[in-house]
Amino acid sequence: MEKKRTKFGTWWQAHKPTKRRIIQLYAALLTNANIKGFFSGKIYQGGAKNMCVPGMNCYSCPGAAASCPLGALQNALGSSNARLPFYVFGILMLFGLMFGRFICGFLCPFGLIQDLLHKIKTPKIKKNRFTRILSYLKYVILVVFVILMPLIYSTMSFPMPGFCKYICPSGTLLGAGGLLSNSANEKMLSMLGPLFTWKFVLLVILIVGAVFIYRIFCRFLCPLGAIYGFFNKISLLGIKVDKPKCTDCGLCVGHCDMDVLHVGDHECISCGKCVNVCPTGAISYKGPKILLAPNEVGGRPNTKNVDPVDYPGTPLPKKTKIARSIVAGVMIVAMVASLVYYNFIHKDPVTAKPPSSSQTGPEVGGEVGDLCYDYELDVYGQDENIKISDFRGKVTLVNFWYIYCSSCVKELETEFPKVKDHYGDEIEILAIHSYQEYNSDINAFIGEKFPDEDFIFCRDGEGEELFHLLGGEQAWPVTVILDQEGVIVETIYGGTTYEELCKIIDGIGNKTPAQPEGGNVGDLCYDFELDLYGTDGTTSVKDYRGKVTLVNFWYIYCSSCVKELETEFPLVKDKYGDKIEILAVHSNQEYNSDIPAFIAEKFPGEDFIFCRDQAGEEYFHMLGGDQAWPITVILDQEGYIVQTIYGGTTADELSTIIDGILAK
Amino acid sequence: MPQSTRKRIHLIYGCVLAALTAILGVALILSALGIYSSGPRAYSYASIGAAFWRISALVFIVVGGVIGGIVLNLTIPLENQRPKSVRDDVAVMEKLKARAGAQPEAAKQVNLRRIYKIVTAAISVVIMIPPAIYFLLPFFPGWKEKLFTVDNLNGDIIRSVIIVMIPAVICLALCYVCSVLIRKSLQKEAAIYKKALAENPTRSPAAKTKKSSKTPTYVWILRGSIVAIGVIFVVVGILNGGMNDVFTKAVAICTECIGLG
């Protein structure tokens, strides 16, 4: 007898998440079980990273619980000159045989993201012959970006994860997105450049594309899906067709959103849609039916002409019910255990503590302006040790690198030799391998890659101790530049260039380097004539050299501009008095001729210099303004731009910056 | 509410949301390009925040639109639309063949298809030879330095990608043309069989060609071999340090992988 349902019960039955969706969510959470990483902005560094997850999930994602098989494969091929990549091949073979592209349909977090995006209510682009042809593009990407590029670059001892670097949207979304959205990683923002812009643009195209085209990335670009596709026919889990029952009606292929020609071919992700529409019940899941009975995954089945035994609602045999309960229990325990381990039991490696105070003076530290920690370092290829203080009297470039970091190796090969050639004995370059030494051939590597370089190659004392002391976190390279007295002048996170290094070194040699005028941080600020309100006179920023100058761009209809001029800037002026000067530049077309009256009414007692951008907004745009006000540009006593604050600011924020300038 | 009205509501809503989504995508891309082009090391929370602020209204509208779409689906549901069947042309042909027997004219169509395939494969191979040579050359002494200079590695990579992708796109286009021709040929062949069947409907009974769905023994042998090889590979990998390589790479932020450079 059919059970009567309430109205809500009927609605719930029609809209409840399918089993597949639940499994996808479970897998995505298990794959990213290190939830605390999203809050701390650090990636998990424990032993589970020896293993790979089956789906595509960037290992630089703060939540990643294990390694990405595709990243691991490229890395293994990139180091295939050192050892053959048996481990990753073995892992991929076992995953492929066990699951095939079932992984894409059920276990891949990026697949889940695309599935959810495709749910957005817009017209969809259906599969056609063109998409079918395009589905072979992923094999080209597999061969070129995943196999050939790492292999070719490995001949030059140069790690090159071609797919990760130029295409992988999972890395951009989960890795970059997860890390950069945490303010703890703010300094990483300075590393962003053309590569990030390209990857971000690609990510946006794929995300928008996924709204209109079902699994755009999986179908056309994903090399991991291409690999697993090879195993689809023989995998233990997946879709099978009972051929004698099949009537070749074509409903299965018609309903499938992937570019399949036959059910279960290399494009099939085992989503189970075909299982539900097959009118004769010829299609079912392979493998044991403990988790997935036929016709149970994708939701509402076609009940015409089919034996109802296979459909949900039919009572399951008692044995299956018990087995399912056990499996569900194990899965819940596994999830809870993972969450507890990653978030509560596992502790991140402790960042090295500074040496004791007896070894260091009060000014010793790892930040700009500090006297650099003095560490003893082992020199590669020699028995002697060196200390950073040994190089006082010269400008010292302390570069932290490691052997698998291609951008580290690249800058050591291309940028630093030019700097050394340019400055000769005036500078010293310490190239510190600051990573656990998994590879005993670092000596050989250095001998092969840098045979003639006049650098001092040495090893970080306790793995990464000095690296952490000088501000390194989990990303390489980092270059710390010390002046002749051993004081840290600059720390560059990420790759650097010859030009950038020269600019800094010139700045050390010549304490007041002649720089061109500009509108960016570090530039000598453009000097413009500004009309003073209330008098016929003019002024310019140059007039205030010797003081810290706050150039605030505002306009009369911008409430946040007026508010901060009313509430925040007076506090700053009161605090610093004559040490600072505040230029309040009205930098918008003047809709209202009563601006002097407005100023007199709103700011009667303020000791600001109210003036006008002579050509409407010209000065505002030159100093980085676009279409949003307010902007505050802070100049040091010499007229250099120290910081540009877009949007509203506070007295606290301004005080922090001004204190920093005055301290120098 | 009648189904046609519901359909219209859903269509209009979907089109508007699609347009907004596309505009948002373009706005995001332009924002990123705007920040990038504003100077070196231009990305900062301030610049990203300012860029986001400019498009925030659009973001909120699209997010609202997505939520509205869910509400629309729940409140004014559409009946499930069944897509048309997509029949396997080759399987249909097999059935027709079995029923109508051999047709000399149809044999010509089969030969034509074979020619299309051979010509496409041959041209594709020829087109892909230069990129294949290009990628093999670095393995020969002396060529590595000529093709991949460390000074301009990014430029070399872009050149490599172009060298491979252009022929690959040409091959894909060729495959598309080939598939259209093959489909036309199949349609012609099917018409021949259908005509023959119309002329003589009882010529030959439909043949039962379906095999049992039991997994063949060779598949089990293959599976067993792959498991054995996979396990051996993993063990060898652990012993030769391959597993340690995976760990080493995975516990540091791969700045290139996430686009930091």
Q: Identify any residues that bridge with A554 across adjacent strands, giving them in sequence order.
A: A586
Q: Give the burial class of B142: count Cβ atoms within 10 A of its Cβ; 0-12 exposed, 13-18 middle, 19 or more buried.
A: exposed
> In sequence order, what DSSP letters do the residues of A137-182 get, joined into one string?
HHHHHIIIIIIIHHHHHHTTT----HHHHHT-HHIIIIIIHHHHTS
B57 touches chain A (CB under 8 A): no
Mean pLDDT of chain B: 82
Q: From the CA of B200, how many Å to the nearest CA of chain A?
A: 24
Residue where the block lists tokens 């459909």:
A311
Residue where the block lists tokens 């924020």:
A653
A475 touches chain B (CB under 8 A): yes
pLDDT, residue B18, reads 95
Q: Identify any residues that bridge with A252 across adjacent strands, giving them in sequence order.
A: none
Q: Identify any residues that bridge with A491 across adjacent strands, giving them in sequence order.
A: A480
Taking CB atoms and an 8 Å limit, are B254 and A205 in contact across chains?
Answer: no
pLDDT, residue B231, reads 95
Do residues A173 and A112 lie in contact, with contact meaning Cβ atoms separated by under 8 Å? no
Residue type, B92: V
A583 φ/ψ angles, rounded to the nearest 5 degrees: -105, 115
Q: From the CA of A91, how many Å to the nearest CA of chain B?
A: 6
Q: Identify any residues that bridge with A539 across adjacent strands, giving them in sequence order.
A: A530
Residue where the block lists tokens 């061109």:
A516
Do residues A112 and A28 lie in contact, with contact meaning Cβ atoms separated by under 8 Å? yes
B229 touches chain A (CB under 8 A): yes
A394 touches chain B (CB under 8 A): no
Question: A478-500 burial string, b = 16+ CB within 10 Å, else e?
Answer: bbbbbbeebbbbbbbbbbbebeb
Residues 498-527 of A with CB under 8 A from B: 520
Q: How far apart are CA A78 and CA B248, in angstroms?
A: 13
List, run by run, the mean pLDDT of 10-residue segments along chain A (664 residues).
63 78 94 91 88 92 92 86 86 94 94 94 89 90 89 76 90 90 82 86 95 95 95 90 83 89 90 85 76 48 40 62 85 93 80 45 71 82 80 87 80 85 86 68 78 81 75 82 86 83 80 62 82 81 86 75 82 88 79 70 82 76 71 88 80 88 82
Q: What sign does the CA torsion over A38, A346, A401, A486 have?
A: positive
pLDDT per position as a tens digit, B110-147? 888 889 989 999 998 898 888 888 877 777 777 766 76
Taking CB atoms and an 8 Å limit, are B211 and A243 in contact across chains?
Answer: yes
Taking CB atoms and an 8 Å limit, are A72 and B33 in contact across chains?
Answer: no
**Residue A105 DSSP label:** I
> Taking the model in full, what pTM does it have?
0.69
A654 touches chain B (CB under 8 A): no
Q: Which of B92, B156, B184, B253 to mutate to test the interface with A (most CBs of A within 10 A)?
A: B253
Taking CB atoms and an 8 Å limit, are B33 and A197 in contact across chains?
Answer: yes
Angle at Cα A173 formed by Cα A171 and Cα A179, nearest 5°? 80
pLDDT, residue A304, reads 43
Instruction: State the average pLDDT over residues B230-246.
Output: 90
pLDDT, residue A103, reads 94
Q: Which two tokens stand for residue A147?
A: 């196999």
> In sequence order, what DSSP letters do the residues of B159-176 get, joined into one string?
HHHHHHHHHHHHHHHHHH
Say whether the ipTM exceeds 0.90: no
A59 φ/ψ angles, rounded to the nearest 5 degrees: -75, -5
Q: From the CA of A358, how many Å to the nearest CA of chain B?
A: 32
**Residue A243 DSSP label:** G
Do residues B249 and A163 lie in contact, with contact meaning Cβ atoms separated by under 8 Å? no
Q: How far apart are CA A644 and CA A581, in angstroms?
A: 16
Residue among A58, A189, A249 whose CB faces B44 most closely:
A189
A116 touches chain B (CB under 8 A): no
Please state, as a whole number, how many other Cβ atoms lie within 10 Å of the Cβ of residue A448. 11
Residue among A60, A161, A205 whose CB faces B253 most closely:
A60
Radius of gyration over every alpha carbon of chain A, rounded to an integer in angstroms: 31
For A643, which residue in chain B has the nearest alpha carbon?
B46
Q: How far apart are CA A541 and CA A549, in angstroms?
A: 8
Q: Which has the closest alpha carbon to A430: A512, A375, A351, A368?
A: A375
Residue among B25, B153, B231 whose CB faces A90 most closely:
B231
Residues 128-187 of B with CB under 8 A from A: 135, 138-139, 144, 148, 150-151, 153, 157, 160-161, 164-165, 168, 172, 175-176, 179-180, 183
User: B140 vs B136, B137, B143, B145, CA distance in Å?
Assistant: 8, 5, 6, 10
Do residues A379 and A385 lie in contact, with contact meaning Cβ atoms separated by under 8 Å? yes
Q: Would you give the end-to-end CA distance of chain B in angstroms?
A: 56
Q: Tell whether the model's pLDDT for residue B213 goes beyond 70.
A: no
Confidence grade of residue B232 (pLDDT, cut at 50, 70, 90): very high
Alpha carbons within 13 A on the beta-carbon side of B168: 20
pLDDT, residue B202, reads 59
pLDDT, residue B212, reads 59
Taking CB atoms and an 8 Å limit, are A76 and B151 in contact across chains?
Answer: no
Taking CB atoms and an 8 Å limit, are B148 and A192 in contact across chains?
Answer: no
Residue where the block lists tokens 């250099």:
A640
Q: Which two tokens stand for residue A287?
A: 């493998």
SS3 of A290-349: CCCCCCCCCCCCCCCCCCHHHCCCCCCCHHHHHHHHHHHHHHHHHHHHHHHHHHHHCCCC
Q: Which has the closest alpha carbon to B241: A421, A440, A659?
A: A440
Taking CB atoms and an 8 Å limit, are A175 and B254 in contact across chains?
Answer: yes
pLDDT, residue A228, reads 95
CB pairs under 8 A between A and B: 360
Instruction: State the average pLDDT over residues B179-192.
Output: 85
Residue B197 host element (H or E): helix B153-199
